[in-house]
Amino acid sequence: MDLDRPSVARVYDWYLGGTANWAIDREFGKMVLSAFPAGMYCARANRAFLHRAVRHLVRLGVRQFVDIGSGVPTMGNVHQIADEVAPDSRVVYIDREPVAVAHSRILLERHGDPGRHAVIQGDLREPDELWQAVADTGVIDLDQPLALLVTAVLHIQQPGPDGRDLGPEAIARYREMLPSGSYLVLSQITHEGLPEDIARQLHTVIQLYDTNVSKHVLRSNAEIRALFGDFELLDPGVTWTAAWHPEESGLTTPVVDFADPSEAAMLAGVARKP
């Protein structure tokens, strides 16, 4: 655990109003918000999208969820949202940040069900090893449809040994491994279609992250659509996090109001494997 540098997961936790963060994370977060005042609301809009996507999929019959890059447990976790609609749902959380994994384990020990919930430390860039680790928990039946959640993760560069971003290749492999009838849930920061002031501020913020935390990769609408491969996008397709099925919001969903949904700066979508 490196406490000499801000952590993406811990800074994000601070944006969401959590407490699993250190002074170095909060100071960096304040620096980000001074350059990009809407940053906290963008994070919360993404969290709200996650809530709505889970509710929507539970209503479609999904009972298994694998959450890659789940982060620090804050503001309603996947199993808590799913259990509101379907108490028989199953969830495996995955993150490579030690603090996120430790706090998730504590949460599940207190409020979870070891038969239905698990947390493992893993790396998105290692799909086959990670998928085996999911199978080893005994929580998820990988032969039955499930929902794979990869939200607010892919704009964080996933470099391989040669420095290439392995995110798209990894997602392609997960698409191959998902059983028919499964769903892929994605959200990612974009540089396209933003209001001029948001685009300018976001550029400054990405420089701050690249220098102090980790490199980022922003993608266009077309590049984000490509991450879904030949999966069938649910309506309304790839859209702003703030605009995806607002009717699925619940009492615990963060309320974020934008004058224009594009101010959320993050695109999202849900697609089904034929």
Q: Three-class SS of residue 224?
A: helix
Range with lowest mean pLDDT among 76-90, 122-136, 235-249, 256-270: 76-90
- Has residue 22 got a pLDDT over 80? yes
**Considering the chain, what is the average pLDDT of its residues?**
92
Beta strands in 190-246 (DSSP E): 232-233, 239-240
> What is the structure's pLDDT at 99?
79
H or E, element range at 151? strand 147-151
pLDDT digits (tens, 9 = 90+) for 210-233: 999 999 999 999 999 999 999 999
For residue 140, which amino acid is it?
I
At residue 219, what are phi and psi to the nearest 5 degrees?
-125, 155
Name the amino acid, one letter, at 239: T
Confidence of residue 83 (pLDDT cuts 50, 70, 90): confident
Q: Which is nearest to 242 in space by CA: 263, 270, 223?
A: 263
Q: Tell me the pLDDT tens digit for each residue of 179-190.
A: 999 999 999 999
Q: pLDDT at position 60, please?
A: 96
User: What is the pTM assigned to this prediction?
Assistant: 0.94
Rounded distance between C-alpha atoms, residue 79 and residue 110, angstroms: 13
In order of 38, 78, 261, 264, the CA distances from 258 in angstroms are 9, 24, 6, 7
Structure tokens at 17: 């109003």
pLDDT in tens, 134-154: 999 999 999 999 999 999 999
Confidence of residue 75 (pLDDT cuts 50, 70, 90): low
The CA distance from 110 to 206, in Å, is 37
How large is the greatest C-alpha to C-alpha distance in the chain, in angstroms? 49
The rounded percent of the chain whose pLDDT value lies above 90 is 72
Give the orientation angle of helix 23-35 with respect to helix 196-212, to 10 degrees: 150
User: Can you give the residue ranges of every domain in the chain?
Assistant: 31-247
Confidence of residue 54 (pLDDT cuts 50, 70, 90): very high
Model pLDDT, residue 1: 61
Q: The dihedral of CA 32, 34, 38, 40: what is its sign?
A: positive
What whole-number distance in Å separates Cα of residue 51 and Cα of residue 82? Answer: 9
The whole-angstrom separation of Cα 88 and Cα 139 is: 12
In this prediction, residues 7-32 reach a mean pLDDT of 92
CA–CA distance, 178 with 147 (Å, rounded to integer): 9
**Helix, strand, coil percentages for the chain (3-state, nearest 5):** 45, 15, 40
pLDDT for the residue numbered 65? 97
Please tell me the CATH superfamily of domain 31-247, with its number.
Vaccinia Virus protein VP39 (3.40.50.150)
Q: Tell me, what's the pLDDT at 2?
A: 64
Q: Which residue has the tokens 């501020």?
A: 201
Does residue 40 have a pLDDT over 70? yes
From the list 218, 190, 198, 9, the residue with the least C-alpha distance to 98 is: 9
